[in-house]
């Protein structure tokens, strides 16, 4: 989970094989349209052995706003 570090604080949930390069790309305005124009920092990550498990968990966190807020509030 990424959190914006400028303006209004928003979070972004996604999956990737290369976390460091993905954060760099988001901060350069590449990648997901939602992330463009903001600077991001990593606040939470999970590691999975399969792409299917990672995508499933990503979807769950994206749709479960209560869990997402608990993660954000606990870690900030």
48-62 pLDDT tens trace: 999 999 999 999 999
- Per-residue model confidence as pLDDT tens digits over 14-71: 999 999 999 999 999 988 888 988 999 999 999 999 999 999 999 999 999 999 989 8
Query: The tokens of 45 are what?
Result: 């990550």
Q: Where are the domains of the chain?
A: 2-75
């Amino acid at each position: 989970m990424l959190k914006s570090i400028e303006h209004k604080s928003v979070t972004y949930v996604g999956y990737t094989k290369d976390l460091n390069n993905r954060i760099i790309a988001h901060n350069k305005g590449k990648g997901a349209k939602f992330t463009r124009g903001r600077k991001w920092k990593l606040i939470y990550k999970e590691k999975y052995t399969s792409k299917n498990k990672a995508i499933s968990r990503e979807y769950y966190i994206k749709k479960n706003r209560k869990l997402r807020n608990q993660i954000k509030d606990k870690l900030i």
